[in-house]
Amino acid sequence: MKSYWDNFARAFSTLRPPLRPSGEDIDFMEQCVAERAAGRGTEGLRVLLLGVTPALASMPLPESASLVAVDNSWPMIQAVWPGNVPQKRRAIRADWREMPCRSRSIDVALGDGSINCMRYPDGFRAFAAAVREALRDDGVLVLRCYMQQDTPETPDKLYDAVCRGDVKGFHAFRLRLFMALQESAESGIGLDDVHRSWTAASGDKHLSAERTGWTQEQIDTMQYCGGSRTVHTFPTLTEFRTVVHEYFEESRVSTAAYEMGEHCPRFILKPR
């Protein structure tokens, strides 16, 4: 069975915020790197990217900085990585839980939806521990994360909202559907379950491109969830903090202005 990310690589170019970082999110991460670089003077600054998010991989880096991206999907690296640049940026295929960098060597780690790829709580803990181990004591972890609401909406309510025309963007809908279908952070939500729910509801409720206002190309990306073993996790803010705060303290949290932005906060985290 193929991983979702193997198929996802093909659908990646159709993604929009909130499933991809917006210009504002990228500026935010760039600013975090610039601030760290200012604090380090001319010493080489080492940036770790958790995934191969192209807009983050290709953001301008300070003169002294270099970036290493770690992602465990070769198809994703092949499909979206903007290319290695000697001494400046390179991608490595590896699992975040076995980080291929020296202990305490990284100044800034950046992740966009990365922790949502891990299982809760053990995967979150292993991810946080591995990133903490890679970071210098004065380093920072900057994460954009997808957060479940304290009282999740039900799939029926969400589909009804779509029928009324109350859900604007397709990508905001997809994120809401993942969250609505997830029973608990511990169970996460399997993408094959998302596909099954969507296939049934879109037939029953006639959720066509004309009816929803979404493009057929966007709707067709739902098929990549079918047959996937991938599970995503949407913790509440409390669940996220319960595990991540074992390794990091929160220095700042902010949100962007797009639809569902309040469910995609950006955290600046400092090692404990």
Ligand X SMILES: C[S@@+](CC[C@H](N)C(=O)[O-])C[C@H]1O[C@@H](n2cnc3c(N)ncnc32)[C@H](O)[C@@H]1O
Name the residues that contact ligand X, by CB under 6 A. Answer: 5, 19-21, 51-53, 70-73, 76, 95-96, 112-114, 117
- Nearest-approach distance from CB 169 to ligand X, in angstroms: 15
- Nearest-approach distance from CB 138 to ligand X, in angstroms: 25
Q: Which is nearer to ligand X, 118 or 201 (CB)?
A: 118
Q: Nearest Cα to 124, choosing from 240, 230, 250? A: 240
In the numeric block, which tokens belong to residue 64?
A: 């002294």
Reported as type and span, the H/E element at residue 140 is strand 135-144
CB-nearest residue to ligand X = 51
Q: Which is nearer to ligand X, 207 or 221 (CB)?
A: 221
- Nearest-approach distance from CB 228 to ligand X, in angstroms: 12
Give the whole-angstrom CA distance, residue 244 versus residue 126.
10
Determine the length of the chain. Answer: 272
In the numeric block, which tokens belong to residue 225?
A: 């969830």
Give the whole-angstrom CA distance, residue 9 versus residue 120.
24
Q: Provide the angle, in degrees to the nearest 10, between the axes of the packed helices 155-163 and 170-181.
A: 160
Q: Which residues contact 204 (CB under 8 A, 6 or more apart)?
A: none
- Nearest-approach distance from CB 214 to ligand X, in angstroms: 19
- Nearest-approach distance from CB 12 to ligand X, in angstroms: 7
Q: Which is nearer to ligand X, 6 or 246 (CB)?
A: 6
Q: Which is nearer to ligand X, 50 or 181 (CB)?
A: 50
Q: Which is nearer to ligand X, 12 or 214 (CB)?
A: 12
Burial 98-125 (b: 16+ CB within 10 A, else e): ebebeeeebbbbbbbbbbbbbbbbebbb
Q: Which is nearer to ligand X, 13 or 238 (CB)?
A: 13
- Nearest-approach distance from CB 76 to ligand X, in angstroms: 4
In the numeric block, which tokens belong to residue 165?
A: 């025309």
